[in-house]
């Protein structure tokens, strides 16, 4: 169509000059199309010429421009979105690693604190050692830093003493303090939970029994905890 237009054009027609300049050869045509979407030339200069002799050519050129611009925008957007996703993953991994590192450091600090409490080196902390240790400023500040600012040392000791043997082994101390230091848990709530757990265990140990009302004579004996679950 461009060739037919050039052949039938009147002398001095500006459109012929534009077509000959930008579409004289196939490589030049490809270069013109590339420049029209990259800012090398104003695409309207070419579109204006196409409109004069062929609405089909003008429509195809407009479609090409729109398609290429949208494709480039899609590619650029995809690159930025992918970078944002990767950055988000890296940030989550960094936060996870930081949290794990802080937890490991807190456990190590608690193990060192256990040694400070265990003055006789027996591997267990008695209530006397615990109360004596809380009088030391550095230990008290370390516990407060973990959120374990308990006003009653005896209640705190009993809360940590899960098995009720009146002494704290290293696992009881470390895991108990770690649980109490979790954000959102208060010491009073944990104390109540520990007391309830101790009561249940005490009932099981003492073998508190109830007589089954459906039984005769000696009857069937069931534990209190089992019957409460039923």
The reply to whether the predicted model has a pTM over 0.75 is: no
Q: What per-residue confidence (pLDDT) applies to 205?
A: 67
Q: What per-residue confidence (pLDDT) applies to 140?
A: 80
Q: What per-residue confidence (pLDDT) applies to 196?
A: 64
Q: What is the pLDDT of residues 179-205, one digit of tens each?
A: 776 644 555 555 666 666 767 666 676
Q: CA 183 to CA 181: how far, in whole Å? A: 6
Q: What per-residue confidence (pLDDT) applies to 221?
A: 41
Q: What per-residue confidence (pLDDT) applies to 227?
A: 43
Decide: residue 170, CB within 10 A, 0-12 exposed, 13-18 middle, 19+ buried: middle
Q: CA 142 to CA 230: how far, in whole Å? A: 45
- The percent of the chain in helix, strand and coil, each rounded to the nearest 5, is 70, 5, 25
At residue 167, the 3 state secondary structure works out as strand
Q: What per-residue confidence (pLDDT) applies to 66?
A: 87
Q: What per-residue confidence (pLDDT) applies to 10?
A: 53
Domains and CATH numbers, the chain: 2-53 (no CATH), 99-229 (1.10.238.10)
Dihedral sign (CA 154, 156, 157, 162): positive
Q: What per-residue confidence (pLDDT) applies to 42?
A: 81
Q: What per-residue confidence (pLDDT) applies to 219?
A: 44
Segments in the chain below pLDDT 70 = 1-16, 149-152, 181-196, 198, 200-203, 205-230
Q: What per-residue confidence (pLDDT) applies to 13?
A: 60
């Amino acid at each position: 169509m461009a060739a037919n237009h050039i052949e039938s054009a009147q002398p001095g027609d500006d459109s012929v000059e534009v077509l000959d300049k930008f579409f004289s050869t196939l490589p030049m045509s490809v270069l013109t199309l590339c420049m029209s979407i990259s800012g090398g030339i104003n695409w309207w200069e070419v579109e204006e010429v196409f409109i004069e002799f062929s609405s089909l050519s003008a429509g195809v050129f407009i479609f090409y421009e729109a398609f290429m611009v949208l494709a480039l925008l899609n590619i650029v957007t995809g690159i930025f979105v992918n970078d944002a996703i990767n950055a988000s993953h890296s940030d989550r991994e960094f936060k996870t690693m930081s949290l794990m590192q802080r937890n490991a450091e807190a456990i190590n600090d608690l193990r060192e604190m256990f040694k400070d409490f265990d003055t006789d080196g027996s591997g267990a902390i008695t209530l006397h050692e615990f109360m004596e240790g809380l009088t030391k400023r550095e230990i008290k500040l370390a516990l407060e830093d973990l959120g374990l600012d308990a006003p009653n040392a005896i209640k705190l000791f009993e809360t940590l003493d899960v098995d009720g043997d009146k002494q704290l082994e290293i696992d009881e101390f470390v895991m108990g303090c770690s649980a109490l230091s979790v954000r959102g848990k208060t010491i009073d709530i944990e104390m109540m939970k520990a007391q309830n757990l101790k009561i249940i265990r005490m009932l099981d140990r003492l073998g508190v029994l109830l007589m089954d009302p459906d039984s005769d004579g000696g009857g069937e004996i069931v534990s209190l905890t089992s019957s409460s679950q039923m």
